[in-house]
Structure 1
Amino acid sequence: MKKSRCYFVAGLSVLLLLCGGSAVFAQGLSPVKHCTGVYVGKNLTADGSVLIGQTGDENSSHWIEAIDRQEHAKNATIEVGVDSKANYPGKRIRIPQVAETNKYITVRYTEYKGFAPPLENGGINEHQVSIVDVWSPSREELAAMTPEGQTGLTYSDEARVAMERATSAEEAVKIIGRMVEEYGHATYGGNSHLIADVNEGWFIEEFAGGQGLWVAKRLGPDDFKVIRPGWIKEVPLDYKDNPDYMGSDNLVTFAVEQGWYDPDSGKPFNVSKIYESDRDMESFGEGINPDPEKKPGHQIKTEEIEYAEKYLSEKAPEITVQDVIKLFKERPFTNRGTKYGQIAQLRADMPDELGVLWIAVGPPEDSIFVPYYSGISEVPMEFRQHRYLTKGEAMRFSLPKERQGQETTRYAYRTFDRLFMLVDEHYDAFYPELSEAFRSFEGQLFDRQDEIESIALNLIENGKTDLAKQYLTYYTNTEASKALDLAQLMAESMTSRTKLLFGIRPLPN
């Protein structure tokens, strides 16, 4: 029997912010820091979608970009890597660009120490390939091997190159692996990516140390996984000949050379025990959202992951986009540092123009997930880059005239960030009404999804693909603007009532 068209989201980079009082928080689970990745196979979703999502915590401003397909000169190059100011200092290098790069949609930001902006965690490209980034720390001895002046691609460079070049999830893994081996992985202590297309997913880890180490494992149609961080664990010794695994040639031999694995012991090669660490972000130096209550070496608890996987298992095999959004809007999967959320909905029965990335700009608990279709040509000015929290803008006295136009518009991220703070100040008073309004807005988007996609599909099937893209662009931009209008109205109302009922809390002396 054909599955009904429910709407499930698999998010590229999903970032969420949850305030106290949610079901999960009430169970005593502590807030999680840093990115969380979610994958759901197509046999477990209500409409046969592959879903991939992420919550992510990062510094600085955030904005949405629709990057066009581009042609490049024969000898074109791109600059990658970190500079001397990074926690693990490095040197930026140039690597060859391909002749033509894919169109893709992504969320960008500007700040991570020693990393050149703009940064990105992935997104969705014109072939319905989606990528999200998940922090995954390497063991301390391995991280300590990272050479001074390291070179190679950062996590952001890897995601960008894969978005630009891949036509499938497996190809994206091979591209990243090849880049790590040929040019190196410019690390901040260890990283991973969760990648999916309309059929399957892959999880790939890139290890610190400058040794070109990486490993990947396939996720199939009957799998679902919540990842934060690491996950692969046991890898067969014949991984090079196993279709469900990939990895660098030295994955096992390097561990043997270091005395971290004895091939004669009869024990499985557990890559998580051998190459990963239980360190918290603080032990990397100045990282993302340092938590003074956590000490270096803090083991990230598994209760949060167990809760999320139990939640999804109870929804399977009829998981929907709304289910994933609900999970992402609960603590502990969002916190003060969560800056945006994105969920990619990847469908084999739809043209690639109808691949969709649901994005919540700003803390997702207090934001609205809007569908951004692969076929759109642009996003509203209000959702593009602005000065607020952008790296380097504090040093600029004024903008050059050619940059003033876009800056005159409202900034969506600033609006939703402000709304989060208003709600967080007086949660019990304001969150119920905000939750009801935003849930209703998202509900209308899901109710209309069939109608919108049917119109676009009809245009494509009748040879009017360009018109379909214009229609999708108009629809997405209209709904994103409506979402921003609603957020601003609620922020103004809450500001007035805060002044009247509670007063505005001033900065401490």
Structure 2
Amino acid sequence: MKKHYFRSAVAALLPLLLIAQPVEACTGFIIGKKLTADGSTLVGRTEDLEPNHNKNFVVRERVYNKKGAIFEDAANGFQYPLPEISYKYTAVPDVTPDQGIFDEAGFNEYGVSISATVSASANDKIQKVDPYVKDGLAESGLTSIVLPSVKTAREGVELIAKIVEEKGAAEGNIVTIADKEGVWYMEILSGHQYAAILFPEDRFAVFPNTFFLGHVDQSDTERTIASKDLEKVAKEANSYKEVDGKFHVSQSYNPPLQEADRSRVWSGIKSLDPSSPVKYDDASFDLLHTTDRKLTLRDAMNLQRNRLEGTKYKPQDQMELDGKGIPKKGEFDAVYKYPISNPNVMEAHIFQLKDDVPASAGGGTMWLSMGSPRNAPYLPYYGNILNTYQAYQELGDHYNDRSWYWTISRINDLVAKYPDLFEDGAIRTEMERLESQWMVEQDLSDQEQIALASQPEEASKKATEESLARAEKTFERLQEIRKEAEQKVADEHGKSALQDLDDEEDAAYEEKIDLVDFDYDYILAAGLFGATLLAIVIYLIRSKKQKGGKQDD
């Protein structure tokens, strides 16, 4: 996930860091229905950026747009005509629309689901030939454009392809779009290049922030959608690569594999298939994998909560607690690695798609963990709900105990800062117990939705009532857990410890830099100016030393 602000700690180095720093954000996965115990398809993603970043869960109503109405992305100025009708859909947006909507994930009224996006980026050679377009399609507006505009997943892929061809992409992204016909996996590779495949039902994939597509059969137009110049651009960029005599997309378009991507793809594959032959130091990782195991929704939840358990590695965010110092971004460490479940996860979602659940209900369930799922529950939601619980709709960038996100954020912060007080894992155990209960209840709800397929209004009413009641009861319990955790910390470390936590959260908020006000051309110019100034200083120092040396002689 890309956002337009960074910490003030890097403000002075911003011109140089903007290009050099790798993005460590989001991990996606797909599990085909032939690999699951119940025959459902599982698709999901963790949305990562930073701690203390509020998210909402809302229903966006169907809208009849005025002729000539235009969608504009406040994040980068991207514009696109709105359709005559914008279909109803659910979304998980940011609370700062002036910096981009970032609707991220949801169902629309036709049973199309989307998760967008996992950020990725083409290598420098590719970007010189087909650069990203400053006001092109970006993650910030992608879901808001696609989900209310399409009736099928394929239409969604085709719409993205059309936009990328005509207006360009502002960044590289990986998108999953699904419906009753299956799941499409799409990579937006460079300014105008893309490739998408209909994901095989007998495979699984784990994909952090790098491209994974291998050979793409563009002659198979039923299962593949790709830009016509996909190979041509790679050849012009002199980054064209073949594997087994065939053009390989990711090896042609990717930069070198980052350590944070390596740790997540490897641990993700091993989480779903412990017997997989993949090794941590493999040169590259394939997109498609298989396993003899029958995977479940619980396996998917465990994947998103994975913190390198059962391996010789430790989570990178544990370094400071272990007295090993603060981890440095991009720096290699032999023991501490970047896990899928990291402090930057703001929400996690899993689509459980079933053949017999009506498309009008979403064709399945979105299991949503608002806030990091490390100590938070996944709750099930159909696509036909009419409203969401108020705690999901609380706005604001500061801690608010009426907010679902901020309540979970506080619980996670307490557990992370005082692990010795919560080492029994009681909170996580309770979350999993609730989830197991809801899984049973959801199977019964599926049957109700199937029975009400011919009465969509009644089905929506039923789904809404059930989800609101569950959310209300759960939020009440989460508030109790938060208060119990705060009391435990206060008893052990004093009430000042809670005030310290408040101060840290406020300080983190104040340190955010809003890059929406920056012009990237000016940033680049500043970087070049800084580099030139540095070169002049070095030249003057060397000249002075040389003069001094001659005088000594």
Q: TM-score range by the shorter chain?
A: 0.7 to 0.9
Question: Could you tell me whether the CA contact under 8 Å between 2:106 and 2:114 is conserved in 1?
Answer: yes
- Give CA-to-partner distance per residue, 1:161-185, whole Å, 9 cap, x none: 2211222222211111111001111
- Residue number in structure 2 paired with 1:473: 464
> Which stretch shifts more, 119-128 or 52-61?
119-128
Aligned partner of 1:284 in structure 2 is none
The question of 1:417 aligning with 2:409 is answered yes
Whether 2:238 is the aligned partner of 1:253: answer no
Are 2:368 and 1:359 aligned? yes
Query: What does residue range 485-504 of structure 1 map to in structure 2 within 5 Å?
Result: 485-503=476-494, 504=496
What's 2:527 paired with?
none
Aligned to 1:333: 340
Q: Find 1:436's aligned residue among 419, 429, 437.
A: 429
CA deviation string 1:211-232 (max 9, x = no partner) = x111112212112111123454
Structure 2, unaligned runs of 5 or more:
1-22, 277-289, 308-338, 508-553
Q: Which residue of 2 aligns with 1:194?
A: 176
Q: Residues 502 and 248 of structure 1: is their aligned pair in 2 closer, same or farther, counting only changes over 3 Å? A: same
| Cα offset, 1:371, TM superposition | 0.8
Matched to 2:251, the amino acid is K
Describe the superposition over 1:59-110 as per-residue Cα deviations: whole angstroms up to 9, x where unpaired. 4311101112222122221113743xxxxxxxx1422111112222121115
Deviation at 1:345, TM superposition (A): 1.4
One-letter amino acid of the counterpart of residue 380, structure 1 = Y
Contact 1:215 1:245 in 2 (8 A): yes
**Which secondary structure does the structure 1 equivalent of 2:480 belong to?**
helix
Distance 2:443 2:134 in 1: 49
Whichever residue aligns with residue 164 of structure 2, its letter is V
Name the CA shift for 1:369/1:303 in 2 (closer, same or farther; >3 Å). Answer: same
Which of residues 129, 135, 153 is equivalent to 1:169?
A: 153
Matches within 5 A, 1:338-417: 338-354=345-361, 355-389=364-398, 410-417=402-409
1:207 maps to 189
Deviation at 1:123, TM superposition (A): 2.0
Q: Deviations over 1:34-66 (max 9, x none)?
A: 211111112222222221011120243111011
In 2, the alpha carbon distance for the partners of 1:323 and 1:253 equals: 40
Equivalent in the alignment of 2:324 = none
2:246 aligned residue (268, 277, 280):
268
CA distance in 1, matches of 2:132, 2:175: 25
Residue identity opposite 2:306 in structure 1 = E
Cα gap change, 1:278 to 1:252, in 2 (>3 Å):
same
Q: 1: distance between equivalents of 2:211 and 2:453? A: 40
* Counterpart secondary structure, 2:476: helix
Shift in alpha-carbon separation, 1:312–1:183, aligned structure 2, 3 A: farther
Describe the SS at the equivalent of 2:452: helix
Whole-angstrom CA distance in 1 between matches of 2:235 and 2:130: 19
| 1:411 alignment partner AA | S
Distance 1:262 1:351 in 2: 43
Is it true that 1:217 corresponds to 2:197 in the alignment?
A: yes
Provide the secondary structure at the position in 2 that maps to 1:38.
Answer: strand
- The correspondence for 1:310, drawn from 273, 276, 282, is 273
Q: Confirm or deny: 8 A CA contact 2:120 2:211 kept in the other structure.
A: no
Alpha-carbon shift at residue 299 of structure 1 (Å): 6.5
The CA deviation at 1:234 is 2.8
The answer to whether the 8 Å contact 2:348/2:372 transfers is yes
Equivalent residue in structure 2 for 1:55, among 14, 22, 46: 46
Q: Which range moves more in the overlay, 381-390 or 172-181?
A: 381-390
Aligned residue identity for 2:300:
V
2:112 aligned to 129, 135, 138, which one? 129
Q: Match for 2:482: what amino acid?
A: A
The residue that corresponds to 1:7 in the other structure is none
Using the size of structure 2 for normalisation, the TM-score is 0.71
Q: Deviations over 1:271-291 (max 9, x none)?
A: 1111112365xxxxxxxxxxx
Question: Could you say which structure has the higher helix fraction?
Answer: 2
Deviations 1:181-210 (A, max 9, x none): 0111112xx2211222233222211123x3
Q: Partners in 2 of 1:270 and 1:166 — Cα distance?
A: 30
The two structures, once aligned, show a CA RMSD in angstroms of 2.9
Tell whether the 8 Å contact from 1:81 to 1:154 is kept in structure 2 after alignment.
no
- 8 Å CA contact retained: 1:194, 1:202: yes
User: What is the distance in 1 between the residues matched to 2:357 and 2:57?
Assistant: 23
Q: Determine if the alignment matches structure 1 residue 300 to structure 2 residue 262.
A: yes
Amino acid at match of 1:199: E
C-alpha change, 1:299 and 1:130, in structure 2 (3 Å) is closer
Question: What is the deviation of 1:242?
Answer: 4.5
**Are the aligned partners of 1:134 and 1:194 in contact in 2 as well (CA < 8 Å)?**
no
Deviation at 1:318, TM superposition (A): 3.4
Structure 1's unaligned 5+ residue stretches are 1-31, 84-91, 281-293, 391-406
The DSSP-based 3-state class of the residue aligned with 2:197 is strand
1:319 alignment counterpart: 295
Residues 416-446 of structure 1, C-alpha deviations (whole Å, 9 max, x = no match) = 0000011112224325110121111112211
Given residue 208 of structure 2, which amino acid in structure 1 is its aligned partner?
R
Q: What percentage of residue pairs aligned between the two structures are identical?
A: 25
* Highest RCO, 1 vs 2 (Cα 8 Å, sep ≥ 6): 1
CA contact (8 A) 1:63 1:108 kept: yes
Contact 1:104 1:164 in 2 (8 A): yes
Query: Structure 1, residues 364-389: CA drift from partner, whole Å, max 9, x if none?
Result: 11111111111110001111141135
State the 1:256 CA deviation.
2.0
CA distance 1:245–1:101, shift in 2 (3 Å)? same
**Structure 1 residue aligned with 2:126:** 142
- Shift in Å at residue 482 of structure 1? 1.6
CA contact (8 A) 2:272 2:295 kept: no
2:101 aligned residue = 118
Q: 1:230 to 1:147 in 2, by over 3 A?
A: closer
2:125–2:239 Cα contact (<8 Å) kept: no
Q: Rate the CA distance shift 1:427–1:153 in 2: closer, same or farther, 3 A.
A: same
> Is residue 94 from structure 1 mapped to residue 79 from structure 2 by the alignment?
yes
Q: Distance in 2 between matches of 1:222 and 1:312?
A: 17
Q: CA deviation at 1:270?
A: 1.2
> What secondary structure sits across from 1:119 in the alignment?
coil
Asked if 2 retains the 8 angstrom alpha-carbon contact of 1:52 and 1:130, the reply is no
Change (3 A) 1:136 1:94: closer
- Verify the 8 A CA contact 2:194 2:230 in the aligned structure 1: yes
